[in-house]
């Protein structure tokens, strides 16, 4: 039995195509929410690109939590807040660098990936041996 799932229509915000989306009938959806669901399920170029950005944002949150959560909670908070602007291109932000303790933490949008780098800060040598490159595709 398919309980409480009903069809509704939402419009893709990129190609403008109306699509049937399945929603739970126990919740009220606004047209904007229905459009959002339709967009997330559409396979036009614009929607696909937007879906990829969402995937990167989720990966970014996961990486930041994993690599900074225990050592640098405040840096984690700042980097976490920087993920969405970086991947959505807000204000043209492409990279955020934090110097925290003995480490330099860099978060940037790499080609099709999330670039999070935790490097030991050296006075005279920028190329650290203890570089921990945690880029994820």
Q: What track of x and - describes contact with Zn ion for positions 18 through 57 (by CB under 5 A)?
A: ------------------------x-x--x----------
How many residues lie near Zn ion (CB under 5 A)?
Answer: 6
Closest distance to Zn ion from the beta carbon of 20 (Å): 14
Stretch of 5-13, 26-34, 49-57, 82-90 lying at the interface with Zn ion (CB under 5 A): 5-13
Q: Based on CB atoms, which residue is closest to Zn ion, 40 or 106?
A: 40
What's the token pair of residue 136? 């994820």
Residues 54-113 that bind Zn ion (CB under 5 A): none
- For 39, residues 6+ apart whose C-beta sits below 8 A from its C-beta are 10, 12, 13, 14, 47, 50
14 lies in the site for Zn ion, by CB under 5 A: yes
Judged by CB under 5 A, the residue of 8, 15, 50, 57 near Zn ion is 15
Name the 3-class secondary structure at 82: helix
First to last CA, the chain: 39
Strands lying side by side in the sheet with 103-110? 95-100, 103-110, 113-120, 132-133
Pick left, alpha or beta for residue 99 (phi over 0 → left; psi -120 to 50 → alpha; otherwise beta): beta
Contact footprint for Zn ion (CB under 5 A): 12, 14-15, 42, 44, 47
């Amino acid at each position: 039995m398919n309980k409480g799932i009903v069809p509704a229509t939402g419009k893709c915000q990129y190609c403008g195509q109306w699509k049937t989306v399945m929603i739970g009938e126990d919740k009220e959806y606004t047209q904007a929410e229905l459009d959002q669901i339709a967009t997330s399920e559409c396979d036009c170029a614009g929607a696909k690109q937007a879906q990829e950005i969402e995937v990167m944002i989720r990966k970014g949150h996961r990486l930041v939590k994993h690599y900074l959560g225990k050592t640098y909670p405040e840096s984690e908070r700042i980097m976490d807040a920087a993920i969405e602007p970086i991947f959505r291109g807000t204000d043209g932000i492409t990279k955020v660098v934090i110097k925290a303790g003995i480490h330099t933490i860099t978060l940037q949008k790499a080609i099709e990936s999330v670039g999070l780098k935790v490097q030991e800060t050296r006075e005279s040598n920028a190329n650290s041996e203890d570089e921990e490159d945690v880029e994820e595709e």
